[in-house]
A = this chain, B = another copy of it.
Amino acid sequence: MYIANRNDYDLYDMKKESTKITLRRSQQRERILELLRTTDRHPTADWIYGKLKKEFPKLSLGTIYRNLSVLVEQGHAKKIHFGSTFDRFEAKLVPHYHLICENCKQIIDFELPIYNDINDKAKRVSGFEIRYHKIDFFGVCSNCNKRKKKE
């Protein structure tokens, strides 16, 4: 039972890199990951907090942040910076790019075949050991476009 539970999310089979601390499961962390995995909203920490406060009335925002960083460290989630003041998170682990609507701020995933050749090019030009690259597209989504044309 216990082993089975562990494997449900295979979340606890690693130690925290930085602190060498053995992870323990917690309801909160599991719900955070579940939320991330079942939404396509690329949520902020605050949005997650709002969602889970009903389930955990005593929930603390610090718990959200701490767990998000554990999940990112463990490779179960990713942090997305797209130039705003707050970070967004996602549990989609396959490589993909992002489209950001400058009007309504929504982010949508853009699954283009990843251009690995430009990594090589960048390496040749710069001497950098490239690990990965990010592409963000900025523009106006079709909904906002329609709305703007009406005005």
Contacts and interface: CB of A to CB of B under 8 A. Distances in A.
Interface of A: 79, 81-84, 97, 99, 101-102, 108, 110, 112, 118-119, 121-123, 125-142, 145
Contacts of A126: 99, 108, 110, 137, 141-142
Nearest to A135: B135
Nearest to A123: B139
A68 to B, nearest CB: 15
Contact of A145 (B97, B118, B129): B129
A81 B98 CA distance: 15
Contacts of A130: 99, 137-139
A84 B35 CA distance: 25
